[in-house]
């Protein structure tokens, strides 16, 4: 008596099919599980036994052997409970096998036969569709998540007996609604209109959003750096369906998907604490799990108090910032997670926080200041295009300043600039201005003669490096895109030079 049920598991952000084979043999009663199960999978024996009994089915007194194929991938998690239970019932002839091959079955069982939520339902649904399966049978709690994928039947079940009834005569008791209406309109709880004053900073963030540039904000405590950063996702262009699915997949496999939100439509904003470890930042573990850079994929990674971060942690960010994905190798396996982030960092100008402040006096020595700022390595700063000073506001400005534009208004301009970039880069492998280098700069950053003159003068007077020159060109390109002009003029160059504070002597000590 042999039975086969098709299930699925997740490795990295992709799912793969797992064949659950069950053999009931004569012999001393035993329940063996093979195919590299980890402890959680092994414990499913007890859950399966109890839930079969408590769903008033007979648990066979046989020698039961369960094989999870492919046998060479380590099996993790409790999602195999349901396929194993169904397989045992199938081998006994309690379940009808006619349609079983068309479905992928996943779910964790509780002792009374009810089903619990699993992780990674979205990648599994994508896989089921790719493999040409008719449907996916999964816990009702995960149904909405899987229903995002069109063209596949999602069968939400709440218990083992309901699953058996469905397989035998196609009836569903719970009737959970699985129709999902695609609505990509993001719904943020913050808005830029809430930020008073700080016009320069808002403009700089608009430029950053338009070109996908990384930003570092420098300012005394209480200037509003965090407040500004938190609102940056609200002016980024709306997520496309593919982007939303990419983001949701990552949250689905780590089980961080917010309840009642099957598809993440807002750009993620991650703000890890400065004590975060390497593994926490880029991902890690025996079987690597995504870290903060992957959780911030297609969104903003905000590092508050940048110099306080462990130096190692900042250095490991360099590769993902460049590649837009992160590959983590461990003894068991090597996995890649996407990491297309916009980095926003914030720091004080000196240890006491008031260097350069209009009112408060700075009590730091020149040496302390340069040591503080040198904690952030050159190569990382190299990848940050916009250096932005955020000064403290005068009390009367805070009380009198009119609330500015709303995020929606700014986003509209950003969207326009992004559209221009998409058209520009259709033939290239890059998507936005921030990713330009070498050849692209020459090809796409044409300066007017006035612009060129200004830039040359600035290079000499401010003693800027060749690297700074490239950054200024890129930024000027984004500013020009916002303005909708083809050639970069002196206005745009002038604005771009402002965003390179850390290249100046003032901060070099």
Residues that bind another protein (CB under 8 A): 26-31, 61-62
Tokens at 212, concatenated: 């996908």
Give the residue with the Cβ less far from another protein, 66 or 468. Answer: 66
C-beta of 22: minimal distance to another protein in Å?
Answer: 16
C-beta of 189: minimal distance to another protein in Å?
Answer: 55
C-beta of 29: minimal distance to another protein in Å?
Answer: 4
Torsions phi, psi for 414 (to 5 deg): -60, -45
C-beta of 62: minimal distance to another protein in Å?
Answer: 7
Torsions phi, psi for 269 (to 5 deg): -130, 110
Tokens at 79, concatenated: 């999602």
Residue partners of 277: CB distance under 8 A and separation at least 6 = 310, 313
Cα→Cα distances 46→3, 33, 62, Å: 20, 12, 15
* Torsion from C-alpha of 171, 175, 176, 182, nearest 10 degrees: 90
Give the residue with the Cβ less far from another protein, 26 or 361. Answer: 26
| CB of 208 closer than 8 Å to CB of 215 | yes
By C-alpha distance, which of 18, 103, 25 is closest to 67? 18
Cβ atoms < 10 Å from Cβ of 119:
23
Give the residue with the Cβ less far from another protein, 47 or 297. Answer: 47
Question: DSSP states of 214-255 as a string?
Answer: -EEEE--TTSSHHHHHHTHHHHSPPPPHHHHHHHHHHHHHTT
Cα→Cα distances 345→7, 198, 220, Å: 43, 17, 14
| Helix or strand run (H / E) with residue 2 | strand 2-11
Residue with tokens 């598809």: 263
Tokens at 488, concatenated: 């970069």
C-beta of 31: minimal distance to another protein in Å?
Answer: 7
Give the residue with the Cβ less far from another protein, 63 or 274. Answer: 63
Give the residue with the Cβ less far from another protein, 50 or 401. Answer: 50
Torsions phi, psi for 372 (to 5 deg): -60, -50
C-beta of 71: minimal distance to another protein in Å?
Answer: 24
Strands 2-11 and 14-25: antiparallel
C-beta of 88: minimal distance to another protein in Å?
Answer: 14
C-beta of 125: minimal distance to another protein in Å?
Answer: 37
Give the residue with the Cβ less far from another protein, 62 or 225. Answer: 62
Give the residue with the Cβ less far from another protein, 30 or 256. Answer: 30
Give the residue with the Cβ less far from another protein, 61 or 358. Answer: 61
């Amino acid at each position: 008596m042999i039975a086969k049920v098709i299930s699925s598991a997740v490795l990295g952000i992709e799912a793969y099919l797992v064949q659950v084979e069950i053999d009931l043999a004569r012999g001393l009663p035993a329940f063996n599980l093979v195919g590299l199960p980890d402890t959680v999978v092994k414990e499913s024996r007890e859950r399966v036994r109890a839930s079969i009994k408590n769903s008033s089915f007979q648990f066979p007194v046989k020698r039961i052997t369960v094989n999870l194929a492919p046998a060479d991938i380590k099996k993790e998690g409790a999602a195999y409970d349901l396929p194993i239970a169904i397989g045992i019932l199938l081998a006994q002839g309690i379940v009808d096998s006619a349609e079983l091959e068309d479905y992928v079955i996943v779910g964790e069982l509780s002792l009374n036969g009810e089903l619990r939520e699993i992780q990674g339902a979205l990648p599994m649904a994508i896989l089921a569709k790719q493999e040409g399966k008719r449907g996916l049978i999964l816990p009702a709690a995960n149904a909405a998540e899987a229903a995002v994928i069109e063209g596949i039947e999602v069968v939400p079940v709440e218990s083992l007996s309901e699953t058996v009834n469905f397989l035998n005569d196609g009836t569903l008791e719970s009737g959970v609604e699985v129709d999902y209406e695609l609505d990509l309109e993001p719904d943020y709880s913050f808005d830029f209109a809430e930020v008073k004053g700080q016009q320069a900073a808002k403009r700089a963030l608009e430029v950053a959003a338009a070109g996908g540039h990384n930003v570092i904000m420098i300012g005394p405590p209480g200037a509003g750096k965090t407040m500004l950063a938190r609102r940056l996702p609200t002016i980024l262009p709306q997520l496309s369906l593919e982007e939303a699915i990419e983001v949701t997949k990552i949250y689905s496999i780590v089980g961080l998907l917010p309840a009642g939100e099957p598809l993440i439509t807002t750009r993620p904003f991650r703000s890890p604490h400065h004590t975060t470890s390497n593994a926490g930042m880029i991902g890690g573990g025996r079987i690597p799990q995504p870290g903060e850079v992957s959780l911030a994929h297609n969104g903003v990674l905000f590092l508050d108090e940048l110099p306080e971060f462990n130096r190692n942690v900042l250095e490991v960010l360099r590769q993902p910032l460049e590649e837009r994905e992160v590959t983590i190798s461990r003894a068991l396996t090597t996995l890649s997670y996407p990491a297309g982030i916009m980095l926003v960092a914030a720091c004080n100008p000196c240890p006491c926080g008031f260097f350069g402040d209009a009112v408060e006096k700075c009590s730091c020595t020149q040496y302390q200041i340069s040591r503080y700022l040198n904690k952030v390595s050159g190569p990382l700063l190299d990848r940050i295009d916009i250096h932005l000073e955020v000064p403290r506001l005068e009390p009367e400005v805070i009380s009198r300043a009119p609330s500015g534009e709303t995020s929606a208004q700014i986003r509209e301009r950003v969207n326009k600039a992004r559209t221009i970039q998409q058209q520009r880069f259709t033939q290239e492998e890059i998507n936005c201005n921030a990713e330009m280098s070498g050849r692209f700069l020459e090809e796409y950053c044409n300066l007017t003669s006035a612009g060129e003159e200004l830039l040359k003068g600035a290079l000499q007077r401010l003693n800027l490096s060749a690297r700074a020159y490239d950054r200024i060109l890129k930024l000027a390109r984004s500013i020009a895109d916002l303005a909708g002009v083809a050639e970069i003029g002196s206005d745009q160059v002038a604005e771009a030079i402002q965003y390179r504070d850390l290249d100046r002597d003032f901060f070099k000590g």
